[in-house]
Amino acid sequence: MVSCEQVLALLAKAFVLITMLPGSEQGAHEKRLLKNLLDEYNILERPVANESEPLEVKFGLTLQQIIDVDEKNQLLITNIWLSLEWNDYNLRWNESEYGGVKDLRITPNKLWKPDVLMYNSADEGFDGTFQTNVVVKHNGSCLYVPPGIFKSTCKIDITWFPFDDQHCDMKFGSWTYDGNQLDLVLNSENGGDLSDFITNGEWYLIGMPGKKNTIVYQCCPEPYVDVTFTIQIRRRTLYYFFNLIVPCVLISSMALLGFTLPPDSGEKLTLGVTILLSLTVFLNLVAETLPQVSDAIPLLGTYFNCIMFMVASSVVLTVVVLNYHHRTADIHEMPQWIKTVFLQWLPWILGMGRPGKKITRKTILMNSRMKELELKERSSKSLLANVLDIDDDFRNVSAGGNNASMTTSLGGGFMRHPTTIEEAAMPSSGTQRDLQHILRELQFITNHMKKADEEAEVISDWKFAAMVVDRFCLIIFTMFTIIATVAVLLSAPHIIVQ
Ligand SMILES: *[C@@H]1O[C@H](CO)[C@@H](O)[C@H](O)[C@H]1NC(C)=O
Ligand SMILES: *[C@@H]1O[C@H](CO)[C@@H](O)[C@H](O)[C@H]1NC(C)=O
Ligand SMILES: *[C@@H]1O[C@H](CO)[C@@H](O)[C@H](O)[C@H]1NC(C)=O
C-alpha cells in the first residue's frame, strides 16, 4: 500500500527535479549576468582593451529589394539589412559560471555601437534603420543586423535611356570615429549579399561590389575609412521597346503612307495632320515616362524628336505637293529650274516615267540643248514675225484680203477685220469673203484648241512635278526613319534586357 504521504513526497521530488532542469534556471542566471554586465557598463566607452588600438568592425549588407529608382529626384530607394560585427571586451563572461548562458540579446541603446551611417542618405530621419537587438556572445562578439529602407542619393545619368545602366553608390562610414579608432572591414570579398534579392520588374541587378576606402586628408594625420557598395543595375527595356518604340515607328510609317496617297483624294493633308496629332498625344504620354531631367537628353527623347520633326515636315511638304498639284497654266508659269529639277533630273534619278515620255540622261541633255536652240531661234524669229505681221496687216488693209497672208496672221488679225455688210453684199467677191470668214473661224478654233492643249500640258507638268516631290519625300523620309531607328538601336549599349 502506498500511503498518502509517500505520494506527496514523490510529487514534491518530481517538482524539485523539474525545477532543477537547466533551462528553467537560466532566467535567474541571465538576470544575474545582465546585472553583472550592464551595471558597470558605460555606453559611451569605446570597447577596446588597448586605447591606442582601433576597434575592428566587420561590415556588410544584404540587398533585399530595389524599391524605386527616382530619376527626377536622383534617388534610389532600397530595402537593405546591414550587418555590423565587433568585439566588446566588456561583454565577456564564462558561460559555465552562468549556467551555460552562451549569448544574450540586448537592445542597442544599452550598449556601445559603432555610429556607422550612410553618408549619401536622403532620408528624412537620415538613418533609416530599425534598431534591432544586438546578439552578444560569451566571448564578447556582438552582431547587430539593423534592417532598413534606405533612401540614397544617386547620380542617375539618363543619356542612354531606356538602354541605360546605373551605378548607385552607398557610402558607409563612422560619422565621428576616424580610422585609428574604428576600423571598418568588409565582411565579404564579394561585396553585398544578394542571395535574398527579390527581382525588380524595371531593373536588372548586375552586381553589388563593395570596396573599402582609406583616405588621409592633408589637414589631419588620421585616416578616414569608409566602405562603399555600388549597386549596378540595368534597365529592362522590353517595356519601353513594346510600349514606346514600336508604336512610334508605326505612327511614323503612317506618315510615310501619306506620301503615297493621290492628291486628288483630298485626304492627303487630313492624314498628315491626324498623324501629327496622334504623335503629339502619344509623345505627351511618353513625356511622363521619360525622366524629367534636363541635364542630358535621353536617347529615346532624341529619337522621338527626330520622328516628330519628320512627321511635321511631311505635313509641310504635303502642302507643297498639293500646291503644285493644283497649279494651273493661267496663274502659274513653271520656272525653268522646276522644269529641270522636277521634270527631268529627279524623275531620272528616281526612275519615274510618264506615259509617252521617256526620261533618260540622253533625253534630258537633248532637251536642254533643244531649249538653247529654241531660245536662239525665238529671238531671231520674233523679229521676223513682227516684221511679217506688220507686213500682213498692211497688206490686209490695202488689198482687202489675201489667202497666203491670212494663214500667217494670227487670231488677232481676224478680230481686227470684222466683215461688213457692204463687203458681203458685193457679188463678185461674196464666196471669197465666206471662205475667208470660215478660214478665220477655223483659225480661231485651232488656236483655241492649241492653247487648251498647251494649258493641259502645263497642268500635267505641275501634276507630274507634285508626284515627283511626293515620291522624293517618300524615299527620303523612309530612309530617314530607317536610319534614325537603326542609329538609335545601334548606338544603344545593349538592346533587349528582359
Ligand atoms: C597598446 O597597443 C600599442 C600599439 O599596438 C602597444 O605599443 C602598447 O604596448 C599596447 N599597450 C598595452 C597596455 O598593451
Ligand atoms: C570558467 O569557469 C570554470 C569554473 O568556474 C573554470 O574552470 C574555467 O577555466 C573558466 N573558463 C575560462 C575560459 O575562464
Ligand atoms: C566567439 O565565439 C563564437 C562561437 O561561440 C565564435 O564563432 C567567434 O569566432 C568567437 N569570437 C571571438 C572573437 O573569439
Same domain, 61 and 144: yes
Q: What is the pLDDT of residues 280-307, one digit of tens each?
A: 998 888 788 777 778 888 888 889 889 9
Minimum-distance ligand to the CA of 103? 3
Same domain, 352 and 455: yes
The protein residue with its alpha carbon nearest to ligand 2, atom 11, reads: 94
Classify residue 191 by its DSSP letter.
Answer: -
Concatenating the DSSP letter of every residue in 375-412 gives HHHHHHHHHHHHHHHHHHHHHHHHHS--HHHHHHS-HH
- pLDDT score at 363: 80
The closest-lying atom of ligand 2 relative to the alpha carbon of residue 94 is: 1
Q: How far apart are CA 233 and CA 194, in angstroms?
A: 13
Same domain, 261 and 230: no
Range of the domain at 145: 30-236
* From 139, 185, 187, mutation site for ligand 3 pocket: most ligand atoms within 8 A of C-beta: 139
The protein residue with its alpha carbon nearest to ligand 3, atom 8, reads: 141
Regions of the chain with pLDDT less than 50: 1, 16-26, 390-418, 420, 423-424
The protein residue with its alpha carbon nearest to ligand 1, atom 12, reads: 50
449: number of CA atoms within 13 Å, CB side? 6
How many Å lie between the centroid of ligand 1 and the Cα of residue 52? 7
- pLDDT score at 23: 44
Residue 95 lies in a domain: yes
Strands (E), 9-124: 55-70, 75-92, 103-106, 116-118
Q: Of 236, 270, 300, which residue constitutes the final position of a domain?
A: 236
Residue 403 lies in a domain: no
CA 68 to chain CA centroid, nearest Å = 20
Q: What is the pLDDT of residues 317-330, one digit of tens each?
A: 999 999 999 998 88
Residue 406 lies in a domain: no
Residue whose C-alpha cell is 594625420: 221
- The pTM for the full model equals 0.74
Minimum-distance ligand to the CA of 93? 2
- pLDDT score at 13: 60
Q: What is the pLDDT of residues 200-250, one digit of tens each?
A: 999 999 999 999 999 998 888 889 999 999 999 999 998 888 888 899 889
* Beta carbons of 475 and 357 less than 8 angstroms apart: no
Same domain, 98 and 185: yes
Q: Ligand 3: which residues within 6 Å by Cβ?
A: 87, 137, 139, 141
Same domain, 266 and 232: no
Same domain, 281 and 188: no
Residue 421 lies in a domain: no
**Based on the structure, what is the number of domains in the chain?**
2
How many Å lie between the centroid of ligand 1 and the Cα of residue 50? 6
Q: Count the helices and strands in the chain (H runs, E runs).
A: 13, 12
Same domain, 306 and 225: no
Judged by DSSP in three states, 167 sits in strand
* Beta carbons of 88 and 47 less than 8 angstroms apart: yes
Cell triple for 478:
523612309
The CATH number for 145's domain is 2.70.170.10
Q: Is 97 a pocket residue for ligand 2 (Cβ < 6 Å)? A: yes
Q: Of 236, 266, 300, which residue constitutes the final position of a domain?
A: 236
Q: Tell me the average pLDDT of the chain.
A: 84
- pLDDT score at 8: 57
